[in-house]
Amino acid sequence: MDSTFDVVVLGAGSGGYACALRAAELGLTVALVERAKVGGTCLHLGCIPTKALLHAAEVADTVRDAGEFGVGASLAGIDMAGVHRYKDAVVAKLFKGLTGLVASRGITLVEGEGRLFAPDTVAVGDRLLTGRHVVLASGSYAKTLPGITIDGQYVLTSEHALGLDRVPTSALVLGGGVIGCEFASVWRSFGAEVTIIEALPHLVPNEDQAISLALERSFRRRRIGFRVAARVEQVTVIDGGVRVSISGGDTLEAEVLLVAVGRGPCTDGLGYAEQGVTLEHGFVVTDERLATGLTTASGGHVYAVGDIVPGLQLAHRGFQQGIFVAEEIAGLDPNPIDEAGIPRITYCDPEIASVGLTETTARDRLGKIETLTYDLGGNGKSQILKTQGFVKLVRQSEGPVVGIHIIGARAGELIGEAQLIYGWEAFPDDIASLVHAHPTQNEALGEAFLALAGKPLHIHA
pLDDT band at 457, cuts 50/70/90? confident
pLDDT at 458: 72
Characterise 133 by phi-psi region: left (phi > 0), alpha (psi -120 to 50), beta (else): beta
List the alpha helices (DSSP H) in 273-356.
315-329
The total number of residues written for the chain in this structure: 461
Looking at domain 155-261, does it have CATH number 3.40.50.720?
Answer: no
Q: Which residues pair with 232 in a beta bridge?
A: 246
353's CB contacts (< 8 A; 6+ apart) are 343, 344, 345, 346, 405, 406, 407, 411, 412, 414, 415, 418
| Per-residue pLDDT tens over the stretch 372-391 | 999 999 999 999 999 999 99
Is this structure's pTM higher than 0.85? yes
pLDDT band at 461, cuts 50/70/90? low
Please state, in angstroms and rounded to a whole number, the distance separating the CA atoms of residues 19 and 328.
10
Residue 127 burial (10 A CB sphere; 0-12, 13-18, 19+): middle
Average pLDDT over residues 233-257: 95
Cα–Cα distances in Å, from 66 out to 74, 85, 450?
8, 24, 35
Single-letter amino acid code for the residue at 451: A
State which CATH number among 3.50.50.60, 3.30.110.40, 3.40.50.720, 1.10.150.530 fits the domain covering 4-141+264-339: 3.50.50.60
| Per-residue pLDDT tens over the stretch 70-88 | 999 999 999 999 999 999 9
Please state, in angstroms and rounded to a whole number, the distance separating the CA atoms of residues 388 and 155.
34
**Domains of the chain by residue range:** 4-141+264-339, 155-261, 350-452
pLDDT at 1: 61
Is residue 347 within 8 A of residue 51, CB to CB? The reply is yes
More confident residue, 211 or 455: 211
pLDDT at residue 459 above 80? no
pLDDT at residue 281 above 60? yes
| CA terminus-to-terminus distance, the chain | 70
Q: Which residues pair with 9 in a beta bridge?
A: 32, 135
Please state, in angstroms and rounded to a whole number, the distance separating the CA atoms of residues 427 and 414.
18
pLDDT at 190: 98
pLDDT at 454: 87
| Per-residue pLDDT tens over the stretch 299-323 | 999 999 999 999 999 999 999 999 9
Q: Indicate the helix (H) or strand (E) that contains 92.
A: helix 80-104
**Beta-carbon neighbour count of residue 35 at 10 Å?**
17
Highest mean pLDDT among 50-54, 424-428, 457-461: 50-54
Average pLDDT over residues 251-264: 97
Residue 346 burial (10 A CB sphere; 0-12, 13-18, 19+): buried
Cis before 439? omega within 30: yes
Characterise 403 by phi-psi region: left (phi > 0), alpha (psi -120 to 50), beta (else): beta
Spatial strand order in the sheet of 256-259 = 155-156, 256-259, 170-174, 193-197, 225-227
Please state, in angstroms and rounded to a whole number, the distance separating the CA atoms of residues 430 and 110.
49
| Per-residue pLDDT tens over the stretch 416-437 | 999 999 999 999 999 999 999 9
Of 160, 438, 458, 460, catalytic: 438
**Beta-carbon neighbour count of residue 433 at 10 Å?**
12
Is residue 189 within 8 A of residue 195, CB to CB? The reply is no
| Per-residue pLDDT tens over the stretch 132-167 | 999 999 999 999 999 999 999 999 999 999 999 999
Please state, in angstroms and rounded to a whole number, the distance separating the CA atoms of residues 335 and 153.
46
3-state secondary structure of 342: coil
Average pLDDT over residues 330-358: 96
**Strands 263-265, 140-142: parallel, antiparallel or unpaired by DSSP?**
antiparallel
The mean of the pLDDT values for the chain is: 96
Helices 443-452 and 415-423 pack at an angle, to 10 degrees, of 40
pLDDT at residue 343 above 80? yes
155-261 and 350-452: same fold? Answer: no
Please state, in angstroms and rounded to a whole number, the distance separating the CA atoms of residues 428 and 50.
36
Topology at the third CATH level for domain 350-452: Enolase-like; domain 1 (3.30.390)
pLDDT at residue 36 above 60? yes
Please state, in angstroms and rounded to a whole number, the distance separating the CA atoms of residues 129 and 64.
55
**Beta-carbon neighbour count of residue 232 at 10 Å?**
21
pLDDT at residue 2 above 80? no
Q: Is residue 438 flagged as an active site residue?
A: yes
In 3D space, the residue among 209, 183, 203 whose CA is nearest the CA of residue 194 turns out to be 183
Torsion of CA 115, 119, 120, 123, to 10 degrees: -20
Is residue 111 within 8 A of residue 103, CB to CB? The reply is no
Percent of the chain predicted with pLDDT > 70: 99
